[in-house]
Structure 1
Amino acid sequence: MAMPLANRILQILVLLPALLFLVTGMRWLVAPAGVAPEFGLTLGEGVGLSSQVGDMAGFFLTLGSCMLIALISAHRTWYYPAIMLLAITAVGRVVAWLVHDATLALDLIAPEVIVALILLAASRRLPETS
């Protein structure tokens, strides 16, 4: 039986940010100076640079990989680590604003929340393999 159009659209809405997250993670590995300013970051030195590159690459590559594994395997449990990463990051940004006098980064929070909601919908709607 053919997949409903709504499910195909939902798959595309998961696939596009997954690919973007994977590309962002790879950019952190190969050209961190180009991607750091997109997150309001100045690259550190020494261990600080190591932490920035390792943590950011790990975050984005894990995020994108979990999303792709969820799509390819149709095991909805793979959506949940990605949902958690995005939701906790958004909450952390709000806490940084409320408690640590950081700028409220709505331009970063909004996509995190939107993609997390898309992933939640996908975890509920897209097929689960047996």
Structure 2
Amino acid sequence: MHQPLSMPGKVALGATTLFGLLYLIFGIAWLAAPAKIAAALGASLLEGAGLATQLGDSAAFFLCAGGFMLYGVFRRQSNYLMAGALLIGLVAPARVVAWQFHGAALTMEPIVIEVLTFIVVFLAARSVRSD
């Protein structure tokens, strides 16, 4: 049986649920409406084998991140929460590497969202672990 969580823990789990749903929707969108989600994320669609890779990898990434977060919330399992947090959180430094070494645009808004997601889900994982 789970112990009652502190108010910050409840808030972190609630926000994690919202993040998890958001990322699941992104994953479904990559499969159902790739042009729309690509445009929303500032990307363009590739062609041929590149498109298959782009859709497959992007859908899997978002579905796994969101799924891990939601499973971690509902089962109160910190390991799953951390898996979701790391999947999203590691995108931010990868964006900085892409900007610094490969001429990509420095996209601060997504970086802020990714770092915020990581922090919130990390806090949720800590609150569940201390449960």
Match of 1:67 in 2: 69
Q: 1:54 to 1:69 in 2, by over 3 A?
A: same
CA deviations over 1:43-84 (Å, ceiling 9, x no partner):
111111101110110010000000011011111111121122
Runs of 4+ more than 4 Å apart: none
Q: 1:70 to 1:110 in 2, by over 3 A?
A: same
CA RMSD across the alignment: 1.6
Match of 1:77 in 2: 79
**Gaps in structure 2 of 5+ consecutive residues:** none
Match of 1:116 in 2: 118
Match status 1:103 vs 2:105: yes
- Secondary structure at the counterpart of residue 19 of structure 1: helix
Distance across 2 between alignment mates of 1:8 and 1:88: 25
Calculate the TM-score normalised by the size of structure 2: 0.91
- Conservation of the 8 A alpha-carbon contact between 1:76 and 1:128: no
Match of 1:54 in 2: 56
Match of 2:33 in 1: 31
Distance across 1 between alignment mates of 2:14 and 2:4: 16
Question: What amino acid is the match of 2:73?
Answer: L
**Gaps in structure 1 of 5+ consecutive residues:** none
Query: What's the offset of the Cα at 1:7?
Result: 2.4
| Percent of matched pairs sharing the same residue | 33
Number of matched residues? 129
